[in-house]
Amino acid sequence: MYAVNPWGKVLLIGSSVGTYAMGIGMRWRESNVQVIEKRVDPRYELALRRRCVCTGQTVRLLTDLGCTKARIESVFQRAKGWRFLRPSLEMIKESTVFPGCADGEAVYHCEEGSLLRMLRTEFFAFWGRRKLGDGGL
pLDDT at 88: 66
Distance CA 44, CA 23 (A): 26
pLDDT at 27: 39
Q: Which domain holds residue 34?
A: 2-125
pLDDT at 25: 41
Q: How many domains does the chain have?
A: 1
Q: Which parts of the chain sit beneath pLDDT 70?
A: 1-51, 83-89, 99-100, 126-137
Kindly state whether residue 25 falls inside one of the protein's structural domains. yes
Distance CA 67, CA 119 (A): 7
Q: Are 95 and 85 in contact (CB under 8 A)?
A: no
Kindly state whether residue 29 falls inside one of the protein's structural domains. yes
Nearest CA to 35 out of 46, 22, 25, 21 is that of 21
Kindly state whether residue 132 falls inside one of the protein's structural domains. no
Query: In Å, how far are 23, 72, 94, 125 from 60, measured between CA atoms?
Result: 11, 10, 26, 18
Kindly state whether residue 106 falls inside one of the protein's structural domains. yes
Kindly state whether residue 134 falls inside one of the protein's structural domains. no
Q: Are 9 and 30 in contact (CB under 8 A)?
A: no
Q: Helix or strand or coil: residue 17?
A: strand
pLDDT at 49: 60
Count how many Cα atoms sit within 13 Å of the Cα of residue 23 in the half-sphere of its side chain: 22
Q: How far is CA 9 from the centre of its chain?
A: 15
Which one-letter DSSP state was computed for residue 73? H
pLDDT at 46: 46
Kindly state whether residue 131 falls inside one of the protein's structural domains. no
pTM above 0.85, yes or no: no
pLDDT at 132: 52
